[in-house]
Amino acid sequence: MKTIYIEMSFIQCLKMIILISIIPLFTACGGGSASNTDVITNSILADKKNSAGYYGENVLFGDYLIVGEWSFTHNSDTLMGVFLKNGIVNLKSPENEMNNIMYGVEDNGKSVSLINSSGEIKFTIHNKIANNCYNGSFWDSTDNKTIDMKICKILDTTIDNFNLTNKTNAFLFTEYISNTILISGIDENIEVLITNGTLIKNDIELASNSTTVSNGDTISIKLNSSNNFSTTVSTNVTIGGESKIYKITTLAIDNIIDDFNLTNKINAFLSTEYISNTILISGIDEDIEVLITNGTLIKNDIELDSNSTTVSNGDTISIKLNSSNNFSTTVSTNVTIGGESKTYTITTLNKLFTDIQIALENTYYISNKYLIQNDNTLISIDNGILIKNDIELNTFNTITHSGDTIEIKLLSAENIGDIVVSNILVGEVSDSFLLKNRVDNYDFLKNGTYDTEDNTFYYLTMFNDGNIDFNDNYGYSIVTLYDMDMNEKYKITSSGTKNIAKGSYIVKIYNEHSSDSMTIYSPDLDIQNNFSQLTNGTYDIEDNTFYYLTMFNDGNIDFSDNYGYSIVTLYDMDMNEKYKITSSGTRNIAIGSYIVKIYNEHSSDSMTIYSPDLDVENNFSQLTNGTYDTEDNTFYYLTMLSDGNIDFSDNYGYSIVTLYDMNMNEKYKITSSGTKNIAKGSYIVKIYNEHSSDSMTIYSPSLL
């Protein structure tokens, strides 16, 4: 805030008015408001005296303060407004601003004269008599004389408005530095004082809690947060006459563990001990309590005698719990960690041995395998044949140990709808294995293609969970699986492999047209293992065909889709898809046994397959000079005793020659006529002619 004092006699004040302002022009000494063209009146306040010793009210005009009593006189050239900016005084006439503009003229850098448009000097500021005061004079046109004056500017020591941004959720006992305050808006140096922390001036930490600053300086405060949660530390910051508070508040204590889960156990064996998944304690600021309502608490892999304990970050928790000794029964424990509670449950299976609800008449069936959990477990049956560790026993009972497996072989009844049961005792648990003959004369679902128009029904028994591959050959077939009460369980509307839970099902296959068909395959249905072994050759059967493939080592197989509409899918022995070949190329296949499905969309489509792993007889012909015109793919052996050139002539532009090493890694590919230098060595050569009229002519001295 900038201020001017103008000192003169009371009578002089009545004869003139000097208003000092920045637009808009504020109230003069008497109350009332004014703009740049208003006339100020009513100012005789001789009984009032301000703190500076001048009569009148203090009247603010922008950056300056006028002290004294002022009134408007009758003189037309009496000055109405006064503006001070950057040391220069500008005056305006109230009556004719355009003709009587008063402006400041600097005189040798020591005084400022105010003149009107006629060049008459009306007001002069003379020499500076103090840091903020000047002597001056004013021409009184009424009395025709010069009036001496003193104008004082009060220095501004109030900083422009500043703010301090408080810190919340601060870490404990951590050093923080406030936002930076830029000093501005003052006319002389002012003091900065803090009550706590470290004062930083112009990025330099000070040893004192106070300093002086001027325009352009910067101030910030370094302050440590509390070492307690939810606690505030503060410092008062006073700059000049302005005071504000900078606060740092620590975060609230966190005693809530990071989210955790307990994986429930289903299909549990009866009277068996289970241990839950492990929970890692994290995300807390203090030790918290763990409490369980059932079972045994395990902390850091050590079983505790108590059902509660305290934990900190990094500890692990699990729960040991025994399953029920009854079928389809759930036991549980509530697990509370800090304020978070979850439930761990163990649900026993509904039977040890799964019944077969749709058995063929007078047929042997073998139950699912049951894994023995405890040593010295007595097993006894009252019907059928007891199988222990895959060996049929000639007794109805046996002693088993942990890890042994038990099955029951049972012969179904002779008539439709009849039931045969074997009652079983496993330790103290009673169970049974039941065979119920089919009630309708449906066939059992087998691997194959089903092409009957409209709906046909079949029985399906899955002895274990397993995958079934469904191939809708023309896009208009649907397979629906129902339980024995005709509740829909699965609906297959497109080709793909579906995991089917163990159990008995009624299967409905729908083909919209007589030309539609659905091909089905599952290892669970392939009890005879009657697929052919995949060998080198061309496969041209329309729709889907299945084969077995055994890779004794990792190796490459070359797949040539001769017309672009063939697909080869390799599954493991549980029908999990491992590889899918949708275009020609060489594929590296890992060691193992596979089920291979070859699909040709049309009767004219075919897929040619070759691998050294399948070529047990090495029965390819040796490549010689000549013309090769067999349609599709043919394979040959080539031995180069030394590096040499071979000339390839693609007679009609639709032939390709590919040379592989003996592991079916591609070495050369010839897609146009020309001579190719071939390194010495042994090769497998594939010649492809797109049409029956195409041919490739080959010549090399190395082949003579």
Q: Residue 289: its pLDDT value, please? A: 93
Task: Give residue 528's region: left, alpha or beta (phi > 0; psi -120 to 50).
Answer: alpha
| Helix (H/G/I), strand (E/B), else coil: 505 | strand
Residue pLDDT, tens place only, 62-114: 233 333 322 222 233 333 333 332 333 333 333 333 233 333 333 333 333 44
Q: Domain 443-521: give its CATH code.
A: 2.60.120.380
Rounded to a whole number, what is the largest CA-CA distance in the chain? 148
Distance CA 500, CA 508 (A): 15
**Least confident piece of the model among 18-22, 39-43, 520-524, 629-633:** 39-43
| Helix (H/G/I), strand (E/B), else coil: 265 | strand
Neighbours of 246 (CB within 10 A): 23
Tokens for 454? 């409209």
Distance CA 486, CA 507 (A): 10
Sign of the Cα torsion 265, 271, 275, 276 reads positive
Residue 524's nearest CA partner among 358, 368, 360 is: 368
What mean pLDDT do residues 309-321 have? 95
Tokens for 487? 């509740």
Distance CA 598, CA 580 (A): 10
Q: Residue 40: its pLDDT value, please? A: 25
pLDDT-derived band at 619, boundaries 50, 70, 90: low
CB 426 within 8 A of CB 386: no
Distance CA 693, CA 300 (A): 76
Residue pLDDT, tens place only, 10-32: 333 333 333 332 222 222 222 23
DSSP secondary structure, 143-163, as one string: TTEEEEEEEEEEPP-PPPP--
Q: Is the pLDDT score of 143 beyond 80? A: no
Q: Residue 73: its pLDDT value, please? A: 29
- Tokens 């001496």 label which residue? 148
pLDDT-derived band at 618, boundaries 50, 70, 90: low
Number of residues that this document lists for the chain: 704
- Tokens 């004369």 label which residue? 441
DSSP secondary structure, 304-346, as one string: -SSSEEEE-TT-EEEEEEEPPSSTT-EEEEEEEETTEEEEEEE
What is the percentage of the chain residues whose pLDDT exceeds 90? 39
pLDDT-derived band at 399, boundaries 50, 70, 90: very high
Residue pLDDT, tens place only, 542-587: 888 888 888 878 888 989 888 878 999 998 887 888 999 998 888 8
- Tokens 């112009």 label which residue? 202
Distance CA 175, CA 177 (A): 7
Q: Residue 360: its pLDDT value, please? A: 83
CB 679 within 8 A of CB 640: yes
Residue pLDDT, tens place only, 408-453: 999 999 988 899 999 999 988 899 999 988 877 788 888 888 999 8
Residue 372's nearest CA partner among 503, 266, 270 is: 270
Tokens for 321? 């719990």
Residue 127's nearest CA partner among 154, 102, 150, 104 is: 150
Sign of the Cα torsion 108, 112, 115, 117 reads positive
Distance CA 610, CA 636 (A): 11
Tokens for 222? 């370094």
Radius of gyration of the chain (CA): 51
Q: Which residue type does 326 have? A: N
Residues facing residue 457 across a β-bridge: 508
Neighbours of 581 (CB within 10 A): 20
- Who has greater pLDDT, 181 or 258? 181
Strand order in the sheet with 103-107: 3-7, 145-154, 133-140, 121-128, 111-115, 103-107
What mean pLDDT do residues 493-506 have? 88
Neighbours of 419 (CB within 10 A): 13
Residue pLDDT, tens place only, 48-67: 333 333 322 332 222 333 33
Q: Residue 704: its pLDDT value, please? A: 60
Distance CA 58, CA 308 (A): 77
Q: Is the pLDDT score of 214 beyond 90? A: yes
Q: Residue 158: its pLDDT value, please? A: 83
pLDDT-derived band at 463, boundaries 50, 70, 90: confident
Pairing of strands 532-533, 543-551: parallel
Distance CA 101, CA 94 (A): 10
Options 1.20.1530, 1.10.287, 2.60.40, 1.25.40; CATH for 167-250 is 2.60.40
Residue 577's nearest CA partner among 498, 473, 517 is: 498
Domain covering 621-703, topology? Jelly Rolls (2.60.120)
Mean per-residue pLDDT over the chain, rounded: 78
CA 384 to chain centre: 57
Residue pLDDT, tens place only, 275-303: 999 999 998 888 999 999 999 999 999 99
Residue pLDDT, tens place only, 223-257: 999 999 999 999 999 998 899 999 999 998 888 88
Q: Residue 202: its pLDDT value, please? A: 97
Q: Residue 461: its pLDDT value, please? A: 82
Distance CA 347, CA 619 (A): 60
CA distances from 117 to 77, 98, 99, 108, 446 (A): 11, 9, 6, 21, 117
CA 273 to chain centre: 38
Q: Residue 428: its pLDDT value, please? A: 85
Domain covering 532-610, topology? Jelly Rolls (2.60.120)
Residues facing residue 135 across a β-bridge: 150
Q: Residue 80: its pLDDT value, please? A: 30
Q: Is the pLDDT score of 181 beyond 90? A: yes
Is the bond into 523 cis (omega within 30 degrees of 0)?
no
Tokens for 198? 């470290």
Domain 265-348 in CATH 1.10.10? The answer is no
pTM exceeds 0.75, yes or no: no
CB 532 within 8 A of CB 588: no
pLDDT-derived band at 47, boundaries 50, 70, 90: very low
pLDDT-derived band at 388, boundaries 50, 70, 90: very high
Please name the helix (run of DSSP H) or strand (run of DSSP E) that holds residue 413, with its range, or none: none
